[in-house]
Chains A and B, each alone.
Chain A
Amino acid sequence: DTEVTQTPKHLVMGMTNKKSLKCEQHMGHRAMYWYKQKAKKPPELMFVYSYEKLSINESVPSRFSPECPNSSLLNLHLHALQPEDSALYLCASSQGGAGAQNEQFFGPGTRLTVL
């Protein structure tokens, strides 16, 4: 299995809702990442998990809360989002920990719309 999967593909939520994005990989990768991508822009790093521990938080607002329940799963919990948080949320993984400079494999993304 050489895929990173993400669910759901699309999500529409109100500003008072609580929702979660899920990411899964079975490649044995020990680094997992969340990126946010706005239209016609490059992906922007949000969080990095290395060996299931949060190693980088790029000053992301607390309304985004990551969680790594095990080495294959990565969640992003959403609460009280703003319309400007609407974007494509990408998950990625790479071999070794976050400090190992290896190819990152990306999932297809979750298209989030906040009303």
Chain B
Amino acid sequence: GESVGLHLPTLSVQEGDNSIINCAYSNSASDYFIWYKQESGKGPQFIIDIRSNMDKRQGQRVTVLLNKTVKHLSLQIAATQPGDSAVYFCAGWGQAGTALIFGKGTTLSVSS
């Protein structure tokens, strides 16, 4: 069936470290993925996306890696800052193409 999930509910890092947040998906949710950041009291904010014909995409301080062989994607945040503290969701479009399926979320805490 369709599912998108994350490995760890929480991640704590020091300011300046690199952060890696992981997500696994099942076979049918495999066409297009988005990472969202959600701060307390706000709506999800788009960070970066990747389509299944790519295995890596870079943005400003963020990189998304897609490994279709093991059905895994990750979000890497370079030089993590306190302002990066938030809940991060991966979301995938199922092959039915009808709606986004959200993973459970990882809470990133950055201490200075």
Residues of A within 8 A of B (CB): 4, 33, 40-45, 48, 55-56, 90, 92, 98-99, 101, 103-109, 111
Contacts and interface: CB of A to CB of B under 8 A. Distances in A.
Interface stretch (B54-62, B66-74, B95-103): B95-103
A103 B98 contact: no
Contacts, number: 50
Interface string B39-53: 001111110010000
9 contacts: A33-B99, A40-B87, A42-B102, A42-B104, A48-B99, A90-B44, A101-B32, A106-B44, A108-B43
Interface string B72-100: 00000000000000010100010001111
Contacts of A90: 43-44
Given A103-B34, A103-B49, A98 B99 contact: yes
Given A42-B89, A42-B105, A104 B100 contact: yes
A101 B93 contact: yes
B43 A101 contact: no
Contacts of B32: 101
Contacts of A107: 43
B15 interface: no
A43 B102 contact: yes
Contacts of B46: 103-105
A111 B89 CA distance: 20
Contacts of A45: 99-100
B31 A109 contact: no
Contacts of A55: 98
Nearest to A9: B41
A55 B103 CA distance: 23
Interface string B1-44: 00000000000000000000000000000011010100001111
Contacts of A40: 87, 105
Nearest to B42: A108
